[in-house]
Amino acid sequence: MALINVAAREIHCKIVYYGPGMSGKTSNLQYIHSQVPKETKGELLSIATETERTLFFDFLPLDLGKVRGFQTRFHLYTVPGQVLYERTRVAVLSGADGVVFVADSQKHKLEENIRSLRELAVNITRQNKRFQDFPVVLQYNKRDVPGALPVATLDKYLNTLGWQRFEATATNGAGVFDTLKAISKLVISKL
Amino acid sequence: MDPQLTSQIVPAEEIKVIEECLVRLAEDTGGNYVLLLDKSGQVITAQGDAARQDITALGALIAGTFASSREVAKLLREKDFRQLFTQGVRENIFISLIEDQWILCIIFNKGTHIGLVKVLTKKATDDLSVVLERVREQQKARDDVLGSSFRTSMEDTIDLLFRD
Ligand SMILES: Nc1nc2c(ncn2[C@@H]2O[C@H](COP(=O)(O)OP(=O)(O)OP(=O)(O)O)[C@@H](O)[C@H]2O)c(=O)[nH]1
Ligand SMILES: [Mg+2]
């Protein structure tokens, strides 16, 4: 739930990057962190295993400065995608205002994408929110990989709710900011 | 509209009540630092030791710890862990849940007895539950608070800052 502090004139929104293991969630945050102006970003906090897989979450606070007198902050999180960490994902999702679902475009990952998306729906519903109404933006990542599934195929299996979706290559940044802009605006529209 | 999807607006006068409550708790316990978080990890307000930096990251981590302990509770078929106590070498942290929405966190050093902290925190969480109840009930229209042109200004700012 977005938080509006009238005394301090602050607005906070929480956005969570969700998706199967290795789909590129952390890479999204790393790219954003490398590009936004110094004044806008805080430190990127990553709680990861020795092999750079997310263990708990990544956290990147973005401060957009004053908008109409309100200091506006977006807090970006990633969940750990490995199947093992199901409960940890529930914890990180707590209080999210919007989700970016990062899907892996590789053919052999389709099944994992579908399972992860189903799990997301269950977890959002458990927070007493209606999944159909919940702000979600889809990202088809790893478009650079040879043999990536056609977008139409991914749409058919993953985008039954007709969300906005973007093709991306998180490692070189393609599509990363389009995705971020879309989810930010969607969340703001629900304030 | 789904109440969970609308934002929580904490009015200035309630922030003042919260701040007074946190100041009292810090003074009565000799605590170094007291903060109130939303369960999503956002800091509502903090009191004490101004030298602490990176409250933002602290808020994210504490809320994450609390949320993960809630999942542990579920696995143990425990209803919920309402409180968490972390003991450090110099300082201790005591964390307490307010309803299911806010998290009260107090950082204190070895000079203060945990028993005292527990009792006074209990009192503070009772007071804050009342505030939370009032915040939940007030149905201020967003436009009254943010102004109708807020969204367009916000979209312009997003376009300006979120790009490579
Ligand atoms: N080719 C290619 N590789 C990518 C892309 N995005 C991420 N990767 C690589 O995929 C691997 C996993 O990326 P991460 O960002 O760590 O994935 P994650 O989703 O955070 O993974 P977990 O933390 O385990 O859930 C890394 O080796 C990245 O460099 C992409 O668009 N194209
Ligand atoms: Mg990761």
User: Can you tell me the distance from the alpha carbon of A82 to that of A31, in angstroms, rounded to the nearest whole number?
Assistant: 21
Contact call for residues B15 and B29 (beta carbons, < 8 A):
no
A76-111 pLDDT per residue, tens: 999 999 998 998 999 999 999 999 999 999 999 999
Token readout for B110 is 């070895």
Structural domain for A24, as ranges: 3-189
Question: Predicted confidence band at B6 (pLDDT cuts at 50, 70, 90)?
Answer: low
Q: Helices B55-75 & A86-93, crossing angle to 10 degrees?
A: 130
The answer, yes or no, to whether residue B143 has pLDDT greater than 70, is no
Nearest atom in ligand 1 to A27's CA: 15
- Residues sharing a CB contact under 8 Å with residue A12, sequence separation 6 or more, in sequence order: A2, A3, A5, A73, A74, A75, B38, B40, B42
The answer, yes or no, to whether residue A7 has pLDDT greater than 80, is no
Domain count, chain A: 1
Residue bearing the bigger pLDDT, A159 or B65: A159
Domains annotated for chain B, with CATH where assigned, are 8-161 (3.30.450.30)
B10-28 pLDDT per residue, tens: 988 999 999 999 999 999 9
CB proximity under 8 Å: B 78-137 to A: none
**Which residues of chain B lie closer than 8 angstroms to A70, CB-CB?**
146, 150
- When pLDDT is averaged across residues A168-177 and rounded to a whole number, the result is 98
What's the CATH code of the domain at A175? 3.40.50.300
At B141 the pLDDT is 61
Measure A108 CA to nearest chain B CA, in Å. Answer: 31
Annotate A136-149 with b (16+ C-beta within 10 A) or e (fewer). bbbbbbbbeeeebb
B68 touches chain A (CB under 8 A): yes
Question: Predicted confidence band at B4 (pLDDT cuts at 50, 70, 90)?
Answer: very low
At B161 the pLDDT is 93
The answer, yes or no, to whether residue A131 has pLDDT greater than 50, is yes
**Kind and range of the H or E element at B87?**
strand B83-87
Question: Predicted confidence band at B3 (pLDDT cuts at 50, 70, 90)?
Answer: very low
Residue holding tokens 């969970």? Answer: B4
At B150 the pLDDT is 86
**Which residues of chain B lie closer than 8 angstroms to A187, CB-CB?**
none
- Residues sharing a CB contact under 8 Å with residue B126, sequence separation 6 or more, in sequence order: none
Question: Predicted confidence band at B5 (pLDDT cuts at 50, 70, 90)?
Answer: very low
pTM comes to 0.89
